[in-house]
Amino acid sequence: MRGAQDAMGDAGGKMLGEISTMTGYVRAPKTTYVVKHPIRAMRMARVRRDLEEALTPGRIALGLGVLAAIPAGIWFARRYRDWRQANAEVEA
């Protein structure tokens, strides 16, 4: 482990330590992580729940509709501008 710390500095060694700790929790029951790190576990659960509520099928469909409407609106606005310029030249 000392060679990895020398090559990547202290932060790299700390990161590897955190990764090895987390892989241990993957194999262990989830209650182990909750007991040892209750605040982090509750924050992770809250973020997961918020993401599940944020990405509902209706909101995804609405977002895709907006993404399709923006280019269509730009195209329509340009055509309308060109049409008005063409009519202004005819009247002048």
8 vs 6: CA distance, rounded Å: 6
Query: What pLDDT shows up at residue 1?
Result: 46
CB atoms within 10 A of CB 73: 10
Q: Which amino acid is at 31?
A: T
79 vs 55: CA distance, rounded Å: 35
Residues 6+ apart with CB under 8 A from 60: none
Same domain, 47 and 5: yes
Query: What pLDDT shows up at residue 38?
Result: 87
Query: What pLDDT shows up at residue 53?
Result: 81
Query: What pLDDT shows up at residue 27?
Result: 59
Same domain, 11 and 40: yes
CA 92 to chain centre: 53
Same domain, 37 and 17: yes
63 vs 17: CA distance, rounded Å: 40
Q: Which domain, by its residues, includes 80? A: 57-92
Residues of the chain falling short of pLDDT 50: 1, 4-5
